[in-house]
Chain A
Amino acid sequence: MSLSRTIETPNIDDALAVARPPRKHVLDLDDFSREEISEVLESARSMKEVLGRDIKKVPALRGRVIVTLFYEASTRTRISFEEAGKVLSADVINMSASGSSAEKGESLLNTGLTIQAMGVDTIVIRHPHSGAPYLLAQHLNKVSIINAGDGLHAHPTQALLDLYTVQDKLGVGGQGSDSQGADSRGSDSRGSDSMEGLKVVIVGDVLHSRVARSNIWGFAKMGAKVVLSGPNTLMPPDLLRSKGNIARSQIASMVEVDTNLDRAIEGADVVMALRLQQERQNAGFLPSLREYIRRWQVTDDRLAKAKPKAMVMHPGPMNEGIEISNSIAHGGSSVIEEQVTNGVAVRMALLYKLTIGAPE
């Protein structure tokens, strides 16, 4: 009876957090503990200070090489990573599938091995197939992999920048730590990094949204309640059914579905509209676009039911007039531009974290 399992681990995340070696990859938020998320967000705050300088450049990652490997179209994510790397003085090489040897049929793995052989330190990958970054992480032992969006699965850096934006707007998190000092912590910063009690409503095509999936993990781990709303056909059965990975995790109780947006949005602190991927319309997921707009568009009327200071987020690119009304998209409660700005800071924090203290 020699059982290998000797440690009771009621909470897998806490157990992982204790003896975790320095992080090598960022593949999704499901293996981040609340502490690690907080650490990234705090570090992003320092990065934002750098972005506010006259000379936006620090030498931290001098001599490091980052490749952005994008098999899917992207403007903000790719540019955001490129800027993040360059502000930290890394050399950033952009590669997209079109125009590369992927067009000649080279496999993802061989492309990855080729890039690794060139002495690259970090690969930022976006790929239409869920799991592609994991394949690289498994087989490339000398580079760090950052998932910039894989299929329907995950988009962890987007979720982190969303978390950062919410913290920043609500004034939670370790702000003003200069005047308060690391030593005097504890009194008023109790739960400063948590989002306990917040209600986050994610609206729209959750089923096909990797942004939503990573955000569910992120917000729930930070203690927020996540309500998913949208047409039944676009709700994610795999996430909520008893066999889904969220249903089995300790965040299951933090996540619920309410297809009635007017009800779901009541008392919300954060309303996140997802892009309605138009190609889904013809695939039988929606009765009609008009009905979608009528029932699930984030509008002024609906937002009035949320908390007075509720913020509206959107990962972009937006279909204005479909999942979000024009007046909301550019209105006072929108933090959509802040999300973009914060994205650079958060990605800087991740690039820095993966490089510093990494094994040679």
Chain B
Amino acid sequence: MQERLIMTQEDVRRALARVAHEILERNRGTDDLIIVGIHTRGVYLARRLAANLMEFEGVEVPVATLDISFYRDDLRARAPSKIQPTDIPMGIQDKRVILVDDVLYTGRTVRAALDALVDFGRPAQVQLAILLDRGHRELPIRADYVGQNLPTAIGERVKVRLIETDGIDEVALVIDDEIEEEELFEDLDLEEDDDE
């Protein structure tokens, strides 16, 4: 098993800074904005984007967290995952929601997140920010803000590591030498870091 480094700590920092600027540009400021992170790593990325917005504009944009366990389309297929807190104290009615996750892959997580979101109200708009887009969509979903695009093979795995969860900021591509059987399980396993 080998790993190829895709993004270093600096790359991650720059990508998040750029995405924050793009969010400001596209929304002409921060009015009605709310950043919603998808558990687990999306939450930390959401907080970092909010910190960037604070630094660039001096405005505190609210951050909310979303767990999508209840909205998955593959409940039977996986081991029980820990349900993490969904916390949207400010509500999303008529807000512009920036949905944040680490990896965009099949699009199924985002589909579930959209379903989860609308249970909390009717947002004016939902935009999607992603640290890494690795392709292979199975649903008609695209990101509005992308840290980096990375064409991958389906058999490959992407590991996003963040200081908050893994002690280091980096994105790596994992190439399995003896893939096959293990790979079959990995594809099902959203809990792995491949977790889009």
Which stretch, A55-63, A106-114, A214-222, A276-284, touches the partner chain B? A55-63
Q: Measured between C-beta atoms, what is the minimum distance from B149 to chain A in Å? A: 28
Q: Is the interface of B mostly helix, strand, loop or mixed?
A: loop
Which stretch, A201-209, A312-320, A334-342, A352-360, touches the partner chain B? A352-360
Which B61-110 residues have a C-beta within 8 angstroms of A? 65, 67, 69-72, 75-76, 78-87
Q: Is the CB of A60 within 8 A of B75?
A: yes
Q: Mark A320-360, 1 if CB is under 8 A from B, else 0.
A: 00000000000000000000000000000000110111101
Residue of B69, B70, B71, B164 touching A183 (CB-CB under 8 A) = B164
Q: Contact size class for A?
A: 20 to 34
Q: Is the CB of B75 within 8 A of A355?
A: yes
Which chain B positions have C-beta within 8 A of A54? 120
Taking the complex as formed, is A88 at the interface, i.e. its CB lies under 8 A from any CB of chain B?
yes
Taking the complex as formed, is B165 at the interface, i.e. its CB lies under 8 A from any CB of chain A?
yes
Q: Is the CB of A182 within 8 A of B84?
A: yes
Which A138-186 residues have a C-beta within 8 angstroms of B? 177-178, 181-183
Which chain B positions have C-beta within 8 A of A43? 82-83
Taking the complex as formed, is A49 at the interface, i.e. its CB lies under 8 A from any CB of chain B?
yes
- State the CA gap A49–B89 with chains docked (Å): 11
Which chain B positions have C-beta within 8 A of A104? none
Taking the complex as formed, is B148 at the interface, i.e. its CB lies under 8 A from any CB of chain A?
no
Q: Contact size class for B?
A: 20 to 34
Known contacts A60-B75, A88-B70, A178-B65: does B86 contact A46 (CB below 8 Å)? yes
Q: Considering the complex, give the chain A residue whose CB is closest to the CB of B78.
A: A357
Taking the complex as formed, is A308 at the interface, i.e. its CB lies under 8 A from any CB of chain B?
no
Q: Is the CB of B119 within 8 A of A46?
A: no
Q: Is the CB of A356 within 8 A of B165?
A: no
Which chain B positions have C-beta within 8 A of A88? 70
- Of B80, B84, B115, B119, the most chain A CB neighbours within 10 A belong to B80
Q: Measured between C-beta atoms, what is the minimum distance from B75 to chain A in Å? A: 5
Further 20 A-B residue pairs, CB within 8 A, beyond A46-B84, A356-B80: A43-B82, A45-B85, A46-B69, A46-B85, A49-B86, A57-B119, A58-B119, A60-B70, A60-B72, A61-B75, A88-B70, A177-B85, A178-B84, A182-B82, A183-B165, A355-B76, A356-B75, A356-B78, A357-B78, A357-B79
Interface of B toward A, CB cutoff 8 Å: 40, 65, 67, 69-72, 75-76, 78-87, 115-116, 119-120, 164-165
Q: Which 8 pairs from chain A and chain B are nearest by CB? A: A58-B70, A46-B83, A60-B70, A178-B85, A357-B79, A357-B80, A356-B80, A183-B165
